[in-house]
Chains A and B, each alone.
Chain A
Amino acid sequence: MPQVPYAITNGRERMPELPETTVIKFNPDSVAISVPHILENTRYSLSFPERKKTSRHYFDTFDWKAFSSGLTVQSEGRTLSIREISSTRIIASDTLPSNTLCFMAEGFRPGKFPTILSHISPLRAFCRLASFEVVSVKWRVLDHDEKTIGTIIDESISSINDANKGPIFHIITLTPLRGYSQEMATVRKALQGETVESVSESAAGIFQELMRHSGKEPGDYSSKITLKLDAEAPVHESALRLLRFTTEVMRRNEEGIRKSIDTEFLHDYRVSLRRARSILAQLKGVFDPRTANHFRKELKELAGRTSALRDLDVYLLEQHNFPASLPPVLRGGLMPFFTGITSTRQKIHRKLDRYLGSEEYRNLMSEWEAFLSVMQLPDPDKAPAASLATGKSARTSIKKSWNRVKRNGRRVSRETTDPELHELRIDCKKLRYLMEFFASLFPSDRIGPALKQLKQLQENLGEFVDCSVQLEFLHAHLDEASRNGCDTGLAASLGGLMTRLYEKQEEARSTFHASFRTFDSDRTAALFEELLTERINK
């Protein structure tokens, strides 16, 4: 698992990890075991027990970022903690804003807790996933000097909704203090030896089981395409699989968009939608053109309905960075600007929310899903390429798309006009999508470097286009504001922002040729040639 850099290291030798926590799991129906009784036969004694009954809630982002970073986020009472999943040790804690189902780093006072949260995921909200009732007894294990060598926690965990049903889990967690692993191992052996029907498990395993018990599967969502395609299968079949995948992603994000939980739901939804449109557009001859065009049109319209909201989201996400780019005297005008955007966003969000709940949308999606469920190959007269092998089709379409990027990129004039760069950016996106669709057909050490070259070029073009889109937006905003009697402070701030954006845009423009040359190099050519001429993975 990738580790979150909650301790900043400078590459020097690190203190070894803290001793591993052991979790012993008991059959919840088995006879109660007595920890103090078992400890009587060892050299160790126990402190006075601390008994507690609490509700425990687990939180994570929609895409399980805490879990995939090896952490859990949980609350007991008002205390919210980030813990290492493997040891259950607390890394940071804070106070839970009351009755909160979802939170983000910015909702906390600056400190270690929000810093780690935003390391885990800067853009996503952490939402409550599952709740349990926990009855626990905690002891400190003491040696002959009454020095604590570790802790034992005996917990019964029940579902919060039907606590009468009895516990889901009965677990005993042993956590040695630093430097006392060996001593605690004796205690562990005593506990394990005395009890039948006990299983040692990792704390991470327990977490996963608890989630499954609540109908959640840790790590089950990612907007990345994870499908394994079959190179020999007809491309029509593979395309349908891809489309079903992207549609599934869209579906899963609907609720988060409607509840406005965080901005990534809409973002993922839109990316998936674009991917679907790209498949329909780029895999020529794979579908009946009439049907394909019909859905292309419908999906384009759907995308259009979401773009205004995304544009505003982008602004609001950048909200904290804007003031610093302006001289202090111009910052005042930003306030009304962002207040305006926030209220516009609310309106636009309500509109999209209504649309996603409408019959019109329901019909569109069911029509689309019905189309995706028909596996039968289309009429070969109308879709002559449908039965081609996926591998072959992948190579041809990537090659074509790559050639187009090269051709159009080389044609960009010395002046590098806006339309030229806009168009090339779209070409790059198309190529990128194709490569991502078919990535599973190629060895990852081949497709990876080729994608990297492309990404670098896309960054430059992305910067350029983002600036120009923002400039246009600000210009429109300024126009509208002036019709409604705009105050000079706002106008000056927007003017300041536009100047900065223009500078950034021109900088991106001026580095385009250099960045394209890097892409259009012998090295990239070799990478693509090797990728595309090689025998496809089976």
Chain B
Amino acid sequence: MKSIALYSIKGGVGKTAAAVNLSYLTSLSAPPCLICDLDPQGASSYYFRITASKKYDSDKFLKGSKKIYSNIKATDFENLDLLPSDFSYRNLDIELSEEKKPQKKLKKNLESLSDDYSHVFFDCPPNLTLLSESVFSASDIILVPMIPTTLSIRTYNQLIDFFAANNLDRSRIRAFFTMVEKRKAMHRDIIARYGDAPGFLRQTIPYNSEVEKMGVYRAPLTAVKPNSIAAKAYKGLFEELMGEKGL
């Protein structure tokens, strides 16, 4: 099972949109796929119209295996399942810190799923915490969506520094630009400067009202509007991503 984390320290950069679309595309070409919603806001669960069972919470998530199994739900798309998040996930960090080896927890908990899914996508909450560290060690690729602004570059560098300081493998980080508006000079400049930089994927995702409408469709854009500009961009991103070493 290959694991890909959609991660960013900043919020509102299109993590969930990418996680939803990329996991859907994976379910078509490399089934079966699981999307693991780790964000207490539960946006990816919302996009798939899934709510966690009343009995499900962060406690169960940390218990692993059986508790996780029985809370996985099928989406409306074949070969694509989802582990919904629960509002209690906001406490995951505190609970993780009480565990032995919290950094390894996620990896260990999901190990038993490796026979059932070819790929798992983590939709992560925007912060840099113990949970993030746990995600880093559980992921083959850490995919970082970035709006092409100087501030985003700064946070990206913070992440790189964090990896260096904690002896983590930086080579697993891949960044790509989202919500790109060609008419903005700053977007154009930053893409020109970083588009070819190592660790950056070439494909960018344009700013597009269709992406925002996913909240209305409540389904992956790549499924309902596969010919839209943004859906095609996700397709391009997916193909580039699958060509990465280790996936």
Contacts and interface: CB of A to CB of B under 8 A. Distances in A.
Interface of A: 7-10, 12-16, 140, 143, 145-148, 177-180
A16 B49 contact: no
Interface string B34-58: 0000000000000011110100000
A15 B115 CA distance: 9
Q: In terms of DSSP, what is the predominant structure of the interface of chain B?
A: loop
A12 B115 contact: yes
A179 B72 contact: yes
A48 to B, nearest CB: 14
Contact of A147 (B48, B65, B81): B48
Interface residues of B, number: 21
B81 A178 contact: yes
Nearest to A12: B112
A143 B218 CA distance: 14
B203 to A, nearest CB: 30
A177 B73 contact: yes
Contact of B74 (A12, A143, A178): A178
A10 B1 CA distance: 14
A151 to B, nearest CB: 11
B69 A16 contact: yes
Contacts of A179: 50, 53, 71-74, 81
Given A8-B115, A13-B112, A178 B72 contact: yes
Given A16-B69, A178-B72, A179-B73, A146 B115 contact: no
6 contacts: A147-B49, A178-B72, A178-B74, A179-B53, A179-B74, A180-B74
B116 interface: yes
Contacts of B81: 178-179
B76 interface: yes
A147 B48 CA distance: 8
Contacts of B111: 12
B113 interface: yes
Contacts of B66: 13
Nearest to A140: B76
B99 to A, nearest CB: 19
B116 A15 contact: yes
A331 to B, nearest CB: 35
Given A145-B49, A147-B49, A16 B70 contact: yes
A15 B113 contact: yes
A180 B76 contact: no
Interface string B112-138: 110110000000000000000000000
Contacts of B48: 147
Which 6 pairs, one residue from A and one from B, show the smallest C-beta to C-beta distance?
A179-B73, A147-B49, A177-B74, A178-B74, A145-B49, A148-B76
Nearest to B50: A147
A9 B115 contact: yes
Contacts of A178: 72-74, 81
Contacts of B53: 179
A12 B66 CA distance: 12
B109 to A, nearest CB: 11
A143 B66 CA distance: 26
Contacts of B116: 14-15
Nearest to A150: B74
A146 B73 CA distance: 15
Contacts of A145: 49, 51, 218
Contacts of A7: 115
Contacts of A177: 73-74
Interface in B125-163: none
Interface in B57-116: 65-66, 69-74, 76, 81, 111-113, 115-116
Nearest to A90: B78
Nearest to B113: A15
A529 B49 CA distance: 68
A196 B76 CA distance: 32
A13 B65 contact: yes
A6 to B, nearest CB: 12
Contacts of A9: 115
Contacts of B51: 145
Nearest to B70: A16
Nearest to B53: A179
A152 B53 CA distance: 23
